[in-house]
Amino acid sequence: MWLLIKLAIWLVASTAIILLLFFTPMNVLGAIIGLFPSYLIFSTLFFE
């Protein structure tokens, strides 16, 4: 059950990050800024 809740939270957060990427320049810096928080959220939720 916890895994499903964590997955749902991560999907919502990832969607928000992806939407934010559309408002940033699509360059290397924008990609790093978008991917790094997603990795942090993923690692925090699944490897705590």
Question: Distance (Å, rounded) from C-alpha 44 to C-alpha 34?
Answer: 16
pLDDT at residue number 29: 65
In the DSSP assignment, the letter for residue 17 is H
Q: Does residue 1 surpass a pLDDT of 70?
A: yes
pLDDT of residue 47: 66
Q: Identify whether the C-beta of residue 20 lies closer than 8 Å to the C-beta of residue 36.
A: no
With a threshold of 0.75, does the pTM exceed it? no
* pLDDT one-digit tens code per residue, 4-45: 888 788 888 888 877 776 666 656 666 677 777 777 777 776
pLDDT exceeds cutoff 60 at 48: no
Which residue in the block uniquely carries the two structure tokens 């699944």? 46
| pLDDT for 27 | 65
Radius of gyration of the chain, Cα coordinates, nearest whole angstrom: 12
